[in-house]
Amino acid sequence: MKSYTKSAEAIAALSDEQFRVTQQNGTERPGTGELLGNKEPGIYVDLVSGEPLFASSDKYESGCGWPSFTKPIEDKHVNEVRDNTHSMTRTEVRSKHGDSHLGHVFPDGPADRGGLRYCINSASLRFVHRDEMTAQGYGDYLNQVEDI
């Protein structure tokens, strides 16, 4: 089984924007994330720890300006934390092992797919194309990635 950890080397390799988002609970500007329009088959992993977070088959266009997913690839890799900043109560989404700030989850997703919208910053994710998943140690998740 692959081990997912946060390391000083991974943190040092982050761009300024990636650091601001993942380590300082920042948010990228809507519509600017490089993975927003990605429609390739694969999985999205935590930029810091590499833990698998979301499958392309659960990604959808919500119109909110950030990549949106209906569910995590495995609940065990995601922590949901109450967030009372900005004069509102929301549910923050963080990676379990990397402790990276990913974004927030809202109850306004597609009803026929569970009703949740995981609104996630591209700056917190690395995309692994289906063709590379086995080579990069994510072969166990191939069955969760459909052709798009």
Active site residues: 119
Query: Of the candidates 121, 137, 144, 146, which has an alpha carbon nearest to the alpha carbon of residue 51?
Result: 137
> Which residues are CB-contacts of 110 (< 8 A; sequence separation ≥ 6)?
60, 70
CA-closest candidate to residue 109, choices 94, 122, 96, 93: 93
Alpha-carbon distance of 91 to 82, in angstroms, equals: 5
For residue 95, the one-letter residue type is S
Distance CA 23, CA 41 (A): 28
Q: How far apart are CA 117 and CA 65, in angstroms?
A: 12
